A = this chain, B = another copy of it.
């Protein structure tokens, strides 16, 4: 298969408390969510990450069973997997990190296996920009599509490196607060214009349960999120979103406003499944039929009859 997709990111054990329940040491990390979502599409997807020797066989099986290439996942003996624990507020609107054990992440030197160096699509998941750069530099040639996800934590610490990286990126995915933080503009239209001047041709701004926006040249696309009656766990929503976007793009292998719109629709739909259960539980068992039904729902959600009679 030629649709080769490479995902860089963390594999973690998460501890999650939400008003509807709690879980501890469940599979998490952006590479897990991105990989599982991307695997819903027709591609060959490799993961670059690191785990400890405590990583359970069953969890490895989940990833492998989805056809994900794990040869780029380093296993460090006598070490522990990155662990992160958080508690969401009553509205699932904000969360507090209760514990972060970097463990194996502290000395992560990514190594891209030779057979993955020519991947067409590269997703630089939310991780230290220096590590993102390292992986990009290991590619044998510039991937056709480079997708970058990041967050305020990295913006605050490595702004210079991050800006260098953004310059090389085709598609950047950040949330609304971060877009405002980077640009000092409250208006998302103005913020996106400033970010596009840094390099990327496609700027995706995530607005949580308010949906997502895409800015490309003078064009704007905006779709609401799928209304979910009961959100169990918002963890990984953004990563599932970008995983599906990347998965779709890796199939199509071209970038255009129209292609990005369809990709983002898949992203919104996959993310809506992700938040309905704890961790990546729903992603693991998601079927193409479920996906198709909800894609149609999304299509109908914003449709109205244009009747210009006054």
A91, B223: Cβ atoms closer than 8 Å: no
Chain B interface: which of A24-32, A136-144, A182-190?
A: A182-190
Classify the interface of chain A: helix, strand, loop or mixed: loop
Give chain B nearest CB distance to A41 CB in angstroms: 6
Taking a contact as CB atoms under 8 Å apart, the answer to whether A186 and B92 are in contact is yes
The complex places the Cα of A187 from the Cα of B265 at a distance, in Å, of 22
Interface-located stretch among A102-110, A113-121, A161-169, A288-296: A288-296
Known: A42-B310, A231-B187, A310-B42. A305 touches B210 (CB 8 A): no
Residue of B nearest to A207 (CB): B210
CB-defined contacts of A231 to chain B, threshold 8 Å: 187
Partner of A228, one of B189, B221, B223, B295: B189
In the complex with contacts A41-B310, A251-B309, A309-B251, A187-B304 CB distance below 8 A = no
Chain B residues lying within 8 Å of A288, measured Cβ to Cβ, are: 308, 310
Q: How far is the CB of A240 from chain B (nearest CB, A)?
A: 16
- Say how many copies of this protein the assembly contains: 2
Interface residues contributed by chain A, number (CB under 8 Å): 48
| Residues of B with C-beta under 8 A to A261 | 303-305
| Partner of A262 from B228, B262, B301, B304 at Cβ < 8 Å | B304
Within 8 Å by CB of A292, from B186, B223, B291, B308, lies B308
A40 within 8 A of B: yes
Q: Please tell me if the beta carbons of A228 and B302 are within 8 angstroms of each other in the complex.
A: no
Closest chain-B Cβ to A150's Cβ sits at a distance in Å of 22
A230 within 8 A of B: yes
For A62, list chain B residues within 8 Å (CB). none
Which A8-33 residues sit within 8 Å CB-CB of chain B? none
Instruction: Kindly supply a per-residue 1/0 record for chain A positions 257-270, scoring 1 wherever the CB is within 8 Å of any chain B CB and 0 otherwise.
Output: 01001101100000
What is the bound-complex CA distance between A189 and B276, given in angstroms?
Answer: 14
In the complex, A229 has a CB within 8 A of chain B: yes
Q: When chains A and B are docked, how far (Å) is the Cα of A41 from the Cα of B307?
A: 12
